[in-house]
A and B are shown apart, each in its own frame.
Chain A
Amino acid sequence: MKLKTIASAAFFVAAAAGALITAPASAQDKVQFFPSLTGRTGPVAPNATPFANGYADYMKLVNARGGINGVKTLVEECETAYATDRGVECYERLKGKHGGATVFQPLSTGITFALTEKIPADKIPMITSGYGRSDSADGGIFKWNFPLIGHYWVAGDAVLQHIAKKEGGWDKLRGKKIAIVYHDSPFGKELLPIVEERSKMHGFTLQLLPVPAPGVEQKAVWLQVRQQRPDFVVMQTWGVMTPTAINEAIATGYPREKMFGTWWSGAEPDLRDIGAAAKGYSAVMMQHGAEPNSPVVKEILAKVHDKKQGTGPRDEVGQVLYMRGVVGAMLAVEGVRAAQERFGKGKVMAAEQARWGYENLNLTQAKLDALGFKDVMRPVSTSCVDHMGSAWARVHTWDGAKFTWASDWLQADDQIIRPMVRGSAEKYAGEKKLTRRPPSDCQS
């Protein structure tokens, strides 16, 4: 064999040896391990990267503040590129490291569905704020899933409430037409049950327009929108599909003021490059939006970025998706803090104990303000049967350069959503032959 081949083979063997030697965890100090499944490459990289940066930055902030009653946080990232099988592999790799993963936040509906099957056996909770399975809000069936601060049905209901309010009431929607442009996948289809329910209740018609992934070419969809002339368009899109949709709307002359995105369809990466032409486009935000002036952002800039510890670029701090990562990290940490109240302050919490913490989260306004989320978040309070904790939302609008709030705080109608959640969860339980958790189970 040639020398070059032998040399390259030796190089690879050395690399393998290096990987194996450095693989064991170096967790001498007790740390609370928070794995971070990132989407920094692949089809949704521009949108998922700020989330991962916000998550990591907030965890660093917690350490700078002194940890969770003294216990430091540790974040390790694993790249999924938004692919389900890579997400599952990352989960398997990280779940036992550094003393055991505390909680997973996959940031992908596909990975959420796959991990929902695995976490009951592995006993690790999963926070899926604003995505994943909407029916997992029913804690009686889904013991380990936590769609904290809202899910797709909350967002859908909130956006319809906002539209109704603008029109002057639900009865004014009778006879109107609302087009739903959605990502043709479980993520997109999760919006449909709530909009169909509301359309039955209030008499408006729906025009369903699925867009096959990745959605780089949407002329046909928007020509149909132009033909049908719906009164409003609601978009459940993610990644490149959103700016493409907005560009096509501009190209077909559909007024942006009548377009409303859901939680994943209205952030800076989608709108920044379109700029002024997208003025008037709105999106519903559950709890937080772009919060550059909030106390927590100022604290992160001071304690993390000013000390050159920032994970991403400085001008990203405070943007919508960055804040989503910050809020996700905050919820993860506060759940552990709540668990420590019961299981031992200052100790590292096991995943099962953290799960109890997420189920008994009681973030009052005072606590949130103290953490730096004044005017950003409203109280979140979970229970054994309600793993969602809050149904608050607001709508923000793009003014050409940034987002401004266009509505007051809206609350999704629990009377409608709770039966839907329960029904869907019962169907899941029936398929899987699960039984509802007995009340005694809630105390663990």
Chain B
Amino acid sequence: MGFFLEATLGGLMTGMLYSLVALGFVLIYKASGVFNFAQGAMVLFAALAMARFSEWFPQVLGLNSKVLGNLLAMVGAMLLMVAVAWLIERLVLGKLVNQEGITLLMATLGITYFLDGFGQTLFGSEIYKIDIGLPKEPIFLLQGIFEGGVLVSKEDLYAAAIAASLVISLSLFFQYTSTGRALRAVADDHQAAQSIGIPLSRIWVIVWSVAGFVALVAGVIWGSKLGVQFSLSLVALKALPVVILGGLTSVPGAIIGGLIIGVGEKLSEVFLGPTLGGGIEIWFGYVLVLLVLLVRPQGLFGEKIIDRV
């Protein structure tokens, strides 16, 4: 029983980390109707920027405080992501307005390759460290009740807390600020939003910047777990089922989808895995999503797909 709790808690927290990446997908899809396959590359690019800036800024500016160095690096990385967002909007999205979904999807795949190559050209292709002071040791709860206690990873707990606060602040941003309202208007109907004077291109830059910020947070957290290197962009493949399960247009869906996929993956690997020889978590999330989609084709919280003939 204790182990079941451990696996569930571990799964919940891993799920939060997946949702962090999935959030970027959902934000962009919600506001511009583009499925941004480049989200993984953006996570890598942001993490690389953060890691390298946190190395270079203290050297160049002669700083001693780690916290200040990290903070400046984060600001620098964020500015870089805004620049990337602006460039993407200018050079790619602006020219592909009104194209079919699959064309936009392929364009984002092209951006993925470009960002992968560009990030490694600018920042190098070795493994880099991000150290924001997340503790690595585990804590053991309920040691009286269960033998050995229930393991909770402190690092994951902090990461889940950061992810949760990010989600809450994003939800507040969408609900209560005028920019948030404008974003929701654009998500509803591009043309109607344009007709009442909302500048589409500026909104798209904002959305991609916010997604860039989410990518930065995800990159920092995953990067401090794995080290920042090319394989970081493969985390996006783990977050895809989360996006689809929750529904492409729903932010709470991304969170709940993440939790479900995280728990499902861990429990299946731990309890079902040994009988099947192990290694099943790579497809379990996807198969789970497939089965859910058969029942609800728009995901758990997505908008119902209405075909007009």
Contacts and interface: CB of A to CB of B under 8 A. Distances in A.
Interface of A: 40-43, 45-46, 49, 184, 208-212, 214, 216-217, 219-221, 223-224, 226-227, 239-240, 243-244, 247, 250-253, 269, 272-273, 277
Contact of A220 (B7, B136, B226, B238): B7
B180 interface: no
A216, A239, A250 pick with most chain B CB within 10 angstroms: A216
Interface string B262-301: 0001100110011001110110000000000000000000
B179 interface: no
A220 B266 contact: yes
A247 B138 contact: no
A270 to B, nearest CB: 8
Contact of B227 (A42, A43, A214, A240): A240
Contacts of B128: 273
Contact of A244 (B225, B274, B279): B225
Interface of B: 3, 6-7, 10-11, 14, 120, 125-129, 136-138, 140, 151, 153, 155-156, 222, 225-227, 229-232, 234-235, 238, 265-266, 269-270, 273-274, 277-279, 281-282
B125 A240 contact: no
Contacts, number: 110
Contacts of B3: 223, 227
30 contacts: A43-B231, A43-B234, A45-B229, A184-B279, A210-B279, A211-B279, A216-B231, A216-B232, A220-B269, A220-B270, A220-B281, A221-B269, A223-B6, A223-B266, A224-B269, A224-B270, A224-B274, A227-B6, A227-B270, A239-B231, A240-B127, A240-B229, A243-B226, A243-B227, A247-B225, A247-B226, A251-B153, A253-B151, A269-B126, A273-B129
The 5 A-B residue pairs with the shortest CB-CB distance in the complex, in nearest-first order: A220-B269, A212-B282, A46-B127, A240-B231, A273-B129
Given A42-B230, A210-B277, A220-B265, A253 B137 contact: yes
Contact of B10 (A41, A46, A212, A219): A219
Contacts of A211: 279
Contact of B279 (A43, A212, A223, A250): A212
Contacts of B282: 212
Nearest to A226: B151
Nearest to B2: A227
B15 to A, nearest CB: 11
